[in-house]
Chain A
Amino acid sequence: MSSKVGKDIAINGDGAVALAWKQMNPDVCAAYPITPQTIIVEDFAKYVANGEVDTEFVDVESEHSALTLCTTSSAAGARTFTATASQGLAYMWEMLPITAAMRVPVMMAVANRTVSGPININNDHGDVMSARDTGWLSLFSENVQEAYDMSIIGLKIAENKEVQLPVLVNLDGFILTHAIERMTPLETHAVRDYIGKFEPMYPLLDTDRPVTHNLMDGPLYYFPHKYQMVIAMNNALGVAKDAMAEFAEISGREYHLVEEYMCDDADYVAFVLGSSFGTMKAAVDILRAEGMKVGVAMPRVYRPWPAQEIARIMKGKKGIIVMDRHLSIGSYGPMYPEICAAGALNDTMPKMYNFIYGLGGADTMVSDFVSVYKIVEGGYAKDVNFVGVKE
């Protein structure tokens, strides 16, 4: 194992993603800079300029062009990466469902940032949550190490013949993208062995076998093609498990469809995404020391939605807290209804609570999460609660 694992380095989240990209050596990269994703593209552009990768780096005039180029480049048969955030992802939105429907495994890093307005550049999950229904796989990371690891695992899942869907690799803007942490990279040869050679399906540049991509579908074909994507997403659950198991063998780091912390005997379990998982683990430690039986879980894989795993965790709990770092204004946070739906697979439902927190980068500390559990246990929680907002 030791020959596959590199030396520890200090690096920020964007740098870690760029490093993973360098080691994976994509054929094509097209991206447009936007805070807080910019460092990924800057770092990677340096690797290109220094000849450390074989990538064709394309400067584009917008995110819409970036994703259009990446989609068609992947259709042509090239392993293709891009990155964006916030308004950039919003500007890509028109292409997002097309990329997925074309079944091309483009990989995109998303440095999660809120979507304006009011204008704000800080972290929440407004960008990726607005892209969740487009047919892209979506993975979340808690820290810099995981942003690096998910970049590698994500590609492996996306390119699997049974999946063939594009993938969003999420890392929280600033909290991970700009924070320097200690990280253990893999050796480049181990990364390349793991991801293997890209074998595109029906590439446009295979001139011996001419193919037309993305035809207009009448009602006769549209629904069946969408249903094929449903099957691919279902396949992705098993493929992700295998990809994570294989990754654990070379890295020693184990990942799951849903990460759990102290959930087994807990009365109250919270579900949360991204870097807040770490903050909530600290809150759980404090409350456990006080004798309160609480736990926290993170859907590592958000698309496909691991409903069975979530239902298993919810079974027999007194209460479930869903922490959403985004809000469908006039309804709930985006994850809350989906957790409820997963819980409905069980015979009985726990009490359900939705907490909206950290919008537009509002700092949410360990003490805030401690309060969340205490408000729920004390019976003061409503169905939707707003952390830090004086109601």
Chain B
Amino acid sequence: MVNIANYQDLIIGSRVIEPGNSEKFNTGDWRSMCPVVDTSMCIDCLTCWVYCPDDCVIVEDSKLVGLKTSHCKGCGICAKVCPKKAIVMKEDVQ
């Protein structure tokens, strides 16, 4: 049968009373293309960090250290704006 939430667990009126909990909702689930970065080509310009709409670019000490893709929807903007083509979009196989 259909898999739906238990009505007793939900607050009436489609309300959410826990602020900021959208972080727990992994919007990357429905992605079909996933960005992959080759850090050896990366010059740490952080253009991708500026452009990423979902805050997926992990930066430490002003350097790109990787991509956190739990909320990446595969839009491909990072790959498009990367001046060194260090980011490429690959079919997502999970």
Contact = CB atoms under 8 A, between A and B. Distances in A.
User: Taking chain B's interface residues, is the majority helix, strand, or loop, or is none over half, making it mixed?
Assistant: loop
B11 interface: yes
B14 A225 contact: yes
Contacts of A217: 14
B94 interface: no
Interface in B1-51: 2-7, 10-17, 19
Nearest to B3: A220
- Among B2, B3, B16, chain A packs the most CB atoms within 10 A around the CB of B16
- Among A101, A211, A231, chain B packs the most CB atoms within 10 A around the CB of A211
Interface band, chain A: 20 to 34
A214 B4 contact: no
A211 B7 contact: no
Contacts of A224: 4-7, 10
A227 to B, nearest CB: 5
A210 B19 contact: yes
A158 to B, nearest CB: 14
Nearest to A206: B17
Contacts of A225: 7, 10, 12-14
B27 to A, nearest CB: 12
Nearest to A215: B14
B14 A101 contact: yes
- Among B6, B10, B11, B12, chain A packs the most CB atoms within 10 A around the CB of B12
B4 A223 contact: yes
Nearest to B21: A212
A202 B10 contact: no
A215 B15 contact: yes
A219 B4 contact: yes
Given A202-B17, A210-B19, A103 B5 contact: no
A95 B14 CA distance: 16
Contacts of B11: 202
Interface string A38-70: 000000000000000000000000000000000
Nearest to A217: B14
B22 to A, nearest CB: 9
A221 B5 contact: yes
A102 interface: yes
A76 interface: no
B80 to A, nearest CB: 28
Contacts of A82: none
A373 to B, nearest CB: 45
A26 B69 CA distance: 49
A228 B10 contact: yes
A228 B11 CA distance: 9
B14 A214 contact: yes
Nearest to A103: B13
A227 B5 CA distance: 11
Q: Across the A-B interface, give the 7 residue pairs with the lowest CB-CB distance, nearest first.
A: A103-B13, A224-B7, A210-B19, A212-B16, A103-B12, A227-B7, A211-B17
29 contacts: A101-B13, A101-B14, A102-B14, A103-B12, A103-B13, A164-B12, A164-B13, A202-B13, A202-B15, A209-B17, A210-B17, A210-B19, A211-B15, A212-B15, A212-B16, A213-B13, A213-B14, A214-B13, A214-B15, A220-B3, A220-B4, A224-B5, A225-B7, A225-B12, A225-B13, A228-B7, A228-B10, A228-B12, A232-B12
Interface of A: 101-104, 164, 201-202, 209-215, 217, 219-221, 223-225, 227-228, 231-232
